[in-house]
Amino acid sequence: MTVRVRFAPSPTGFLHVGNARIALVNWLFARAGRGRFILRIDDTDTERSTAAYARAIEEDLAWLGLDWDEFARQSDRMARYAAAFERLAAAGAIYPAYETPAELEAKRTAQLARGRPPVYDRAALALTEAARARLEAEGRRPHWRFRLPAGPVAWDDLVHGGVRIDAATLSDPVVFRADRRPLYLLTSAVDDAELEVSHVIRGEDHLTNTAVQIRLLAALGAEPERLRFAHLPLLIDAGGAGLSKRLGSLALRRLREEGIEPMAIASLLARLGSSDPVEPKARLADLVAGFDLARFSRAAPRFDAAELRALNARLLHALPFEEARPRLAALGLAGADAAFWEAVRGNLATLAEAKPWWRVCTGEIEPVIEDAAFAGTAAELLPPEPWDQGTFAAWSAALGAATGRRGRALYRPLRLALTGAERGPELKDLLPLLGRARARARLKGLRA
Ligand code: GLU
């Protein structure tokens, strides 16, 4: 069987880590199975969808490195849904219903008051021709419900295991509005069949939709058995609560602005909730190797932003200069060389944090001098150039011998004078980058 999967976002907001996980798992499944990854924009909800969000989704996926082999947009496929309407109506699989939202709400309230599940009572199915004609004469236009066949719907879910949902617990879903615009359950089933999707991998908030869609696929004349389903549990936060309220701050664009590397996100999301360990990987191909949907658990995984930041730092600490070079240039650090990068990368949580170190090495800073006499002696003892990574050890040993200082009392004032900061990259690496003139000026308390 050819693997064909789709990621089907609705363009009603920016992608966040929850959506990105679904996209990534689909993409990895396609790549590991030598299959096709389809990006399908589910934009039939014209009130909430925007072209700008659709564009942003494409940008964010590209930034993550997820490329798609095929692209579909539901708003381009309206003729297919209209054809499905005709087919379903002719087969009696959909029926017109006239209740207003207020009438439906009243029914639900009454059912709940009697301790019954609020399932649609199919009153519209019982309408006589004459009753229908009367309603239409009142100016009512029907929406269309799918008549769910009775009995249980069961499937073997690749993450959840055996799932069984009794149709009696579900309302006949509205699949076309009064203006005949199709709704998600229908469009998705039509597309999954016509795009020959082999595996539907999505969040477990769609479990009951799957029961409906299996029935819809059959009514459309597709073979639901040809589709496998995998429902991943939704992410939770460290305290065990759903992420929904925090998803704004976990939008991919926001993380990108904060300096999170796409591979930090991918490294975490590709393995979160699976039995494989989360490790920083430099490329998506490293995540394809060893990817196995069967290793994903049905227990909700915890998403921890601190874990993401730690992965980000580890990726930067291992980032080779050749890869850092163009990105440093984009940050305005065009002259940064391998020696600079190797000196500072171990101190970075985000790439942008290289900027202040570039200023320390090549620009002007305010040195911090707490003991001018000691700093003056240090300046006098600076050896002549050329300098290398051994220079600091020789210089500080001579300075220690001359002043009797050791350890923190010796090194801290040197760091404060040379970098203006309490902490940072190793002085042995920084000193040759500063050069003698700059080091000497700073030790003398001059802005340099
Ligand atoms: N547009 C739906 C969503 O964003 C797609 C769900 C699916 O079928 O994968 O929830």
CA of 245 to the centre of ligand 1 (A): 19
**What pLDDT, in 10s, does the model give residues 48-98?**
999 999 999 999 999 999 999 999 999 999 999 999 999 999 999 999 999
- DSSP code at position 298: S
Q: Which residue has the tokens 């290289």?
A: 354
CA of 432 to the centre of ligand 1 (A): 56
DSSP H helices in 98-201: 101-113, 129-137, 184-194
Q: Is 281 in the pocket of ligand 1 (CB under 6 A)?
A: no
Structure tokens at 416: 């404060």
Q: Is 16 in the pocket of ligand 1 (CB under 6 A)?
A: no
Tell me how far apart the alpha carbons of residues 10 and 187 are, in angstroms, rounded to a whole number.
12
**What pLDDT, in 10s, does the model give residues 27-48?**
999 999 999 999 999 999 999 9
Cβ contact 431:386 at 8 Å:
no
Per the confidence metrics, is the pTM higher than 0.75?
A: yes
Q: Which of 184, 195, 247, when mutated, tests ligand 1's pocket best, judged by the most ligand atoms within 8 Å of its CB? A: 184
Work out which ligand 1 atom sits closest to the CA atom of 6.
9
Structure tokens at 314: 């580890």
Place 241 in a pLDDT band, splitting at 50, 70 and 90.
confident
Structure tokens at 79: 């003729």
Tell me how far apart the alpha carbons of residues 172 and 211 are, in angstroms, rounded to a whole number.
12
Work out which ligand 1 atom sits closest to the CA atom of 7.
9
Tell me what pLDDT residue 189 has: 98
Tell me what pLDDT residue 1 has: 80
Q: Is 9 in the pocket of ligand 1 (CB under 6 A)?
A: yes
Tell me what pLDDT residue 151 has: 97
**What pLDDT, in 10s, does the model give residues 124-138?**
999 999 999 999 999
Residue 389 pLDDT > 90 = yes
Tell me what pLDDT residue 257 has: 95
Tell me what pLDDT residue 309 has: 97
Q: Is 42 in the pocket of ligand 1 (CB under 6 A)?
A: yes
Closest protein CA for atom 6 of ligand 1 = 8
CA of 9 to the centre of ligand 1 (A): 6
**What pLDDT, in 10s, does the model give residues 318-362?**
999 999 999 999 999 999 999 999 999 999 999 999 999 999 999
- Of 322, 310, 321, 311, nearest in space to 345 by CA: 321
| Collapsed DSSP state (helix, strand, coil) of residue 5 | strand
**What average pLDDT score do residues 301-316 get?**
97
CA of 195 to the centre of ligand 1 (A): 15
**What average pLDDT score do residues 152-165 get?**
98
CA of 190 to the centre of ligand 1 (A): 13
CA of 203 to the centre of ligand 1 (A): 8
CA of 24 to the centre of ligand 1 (A): 14
Work out which ligand 1 atom sits closest to the CA atom of 201.
9
* Topology of the domain comprising 372-443: Arc Repressor Mutant, subunit A (1.10.10)
Q: Is 173 in the pocket of ligand 1 (CB under 6 A)?
A: no
**What average pLDDT score do residues 262-267 get?**
98
Work out which ligand 1 atom sits closest to the CA atom of 209.
8
Residue 115 pLDDT > 90 = yes
Closest protein CA for atom 5 of ligand 1 = 8
Neighbours of 280 (CB within 10 A): 20
Tell me what pLDDT residue 244 has: 79
Q: Is 202 in the pocket of ligand 1 (CB under 6 A)?
A: yes
CA of 8 to the centre of ligand 1 (A): 5
Average model confidence (pLDDT) for the chain?
97
* Domain locations in the chain as residue ranges: 89-154+163-176, 321-362, 372-443
Q: What contacts 106, CB < 8 A, 6 or more positions away?
A: none
Residue type, 339: A
Q: Please give the share of the chain, as a percent, with pLDDT higher than 70.
A: 100
Cβ contact 232:202 at 8 Å:
yes
Work out which ligand 1 atom sits closest to the CA atom of 42.
1
Torsion 273-274-279-283 (CA) sign: negative
Stated length of the chain:
448
Q: Is 8 in the pocket of ligand 1 (CB under 6 A)?
A: yes
Neighbours of 105 (CB within 10 A): 12
For helices 407-419 and 427-434, angle between their N-to-C axes, nearest 10 degrees: 40
Ordered DSSP codes for 384-432: PSP--TTHHHHHHHHHHHHH---HHHHHHHHHHHHHSSSS-S-HHHHHH
Q: Is 204 in the pocket of ligand 1 (CB under 6 A)?
A: no
CA of 120 to the centre of ligand 1 (A): 24
Most distant CA atoms of the chain, gap in Å: 109
Q: Is 10 in the pocket of ligand 1 (CB under 6 A)?
A: yes
Tell me how far apart the alpha carbons of residues 358 and 339 are, in angstroms, rounded to a whole number.
12
Question: 365: number of CA atoms within 13 Å, CB side?
Answer: 23
Q: Which of 44, 74, 188, when mutated, tests ligand 1's pocket best, judged by the most ligand atoms within 8 Å of its CB? A: 188
Helix, strand, coil share (%) of the chain residues, nearest 5: 50, 10, 35
Place 116 in a pLDDT band, splitting at 50, 70 and 90.
very high
Tell me how far apart the alpha carbons of residues 50 and 314 are, in angstroms, rounded to a whole number.
37
Burial of 233 (0-12, 13-18, 19+ CB in 10 A): middle
Q: Is 26 in the pocket of ligand 1 (CB under 6 A)?
A: no
Residue 243 pLDDT > 90 = no
Tell me how far apart the alpha carbons of residues 149 and 193 are, in angstroms, rounded to a whole number.
19
**What pLDDT, in 10s, does the model give residues 390-445?**
999 999 999 999 999 999 999 999 999 999 999 999 999 999 999 999 999 999 99
- CA angle, corner 264, sides to 255 and 71, nearest 5? 75
Residue type, 295: R
Work out which ligand 1 atom sits closest to the CA atom of 8.
5
Residue 17 pLDDT > 90 = yes
Tell me how far apart the alpha carbons of residues 433 and 179 are, in angstroms, rounded to a whole number.
70
Q: Is 206 in the pocket of ligand 1 (CB under 6 A)?
A: yes
Residue type, 324: A
* Topology of the domain comprising 89-154+163-176: Glutamyl-tRNA Synthetase; domain 3 (3.90.800)
Tell me what pLDDT residue 276 has: 95
Closest protein CA for atom 7 of ligand 1 = 8
